[in-house]
């Protein structure tokens, strides 16, 4: 279960921002290629993997399926689907490295892969090779697939 008191800040990420950050990650990764393919960590790594695959012209994509979160709680990581390689020449992609627990399991599965995430927190940062944006450990990253738009009353109306 997630200790909700550990999140003091919210970092909302729009679809446009996520796309820009994934392209920035692609710029960092292009020089280290060529790559055999991408291993996306599901589910969070699927959207970044698709954008990065397009930017790096990679057509071979597989998944490592790990589950440690439901929509609100974090528990023990379960391996739902692995891969049959050590990862040499492959990109391992996820949206975020937080505590590093899930990342360590993925890293152990494909120890020779280049691990890249879009966002990183200090506790998990040592488990990845490349990332774009670091946020503090007490920040909850609100991804666009976890949010929706809704009407908000004007401030003048709320204070009446």
Q: Is 98 an annotated catalytic residue?
A: yes
Distance CA(152)–CA(123), nearest Å, equals: 35
The secondary element (H helix, E strand) that includes residue 29 is helix 15-30
Among candidate residues 94, 108, 129, 160, the one labeled active-site is: 94
- Catalytic, out of 57, 62, 84, 98: 98
Residues 6+ apart with CB under 8 A from 66: 41, 42, 77, 78, 79, 80, 102, 105, 106
Q: Is 94 a catalytic residue?
A: yes
User: Does the annotation count 84 as an active-site position?
Assistant: no
End-to-end CA gap in the chain: 39
Residue from 21, 62, 95, 138 carrying the catalytic annotation: 95
Q: Supply the residues annotated as catalytic.
A: 94-95, 98
């Amino acid at each position: 279960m997630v200790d909700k008191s550990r999140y003091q800040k919210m970092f909302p990420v729009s679809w446009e921002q996520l796309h820009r950050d994934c392209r920035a990650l692609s710029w960092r990764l292009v020089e280290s290629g060529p790559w055999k393919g991408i291993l996306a960590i599901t589910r969070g790594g699927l959207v970044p993997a698709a954008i990065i695959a397009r930017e790096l012209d990679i057509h071979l994509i597989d998944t490592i399926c790990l589950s440690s979160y439901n929509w609100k709680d974090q528990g023990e990581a379960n391996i739902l689907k692995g891969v049959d390689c050590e990862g040499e020449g492959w990109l391992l992609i996820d949206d975020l490295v937080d505590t590093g627990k899930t990342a360590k399991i993925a890293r152990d599965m494909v120890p020779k892969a280049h691990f890249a995430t879009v966002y990183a927190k200090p506790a998990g940062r040592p488990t990845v090779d490349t990332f774009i944006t670091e946020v503090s450990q007490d920040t909850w990253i609100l991804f666009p697939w976890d949010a929706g738009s809704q009407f908000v009353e004007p401030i003048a109306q709320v204070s009446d």
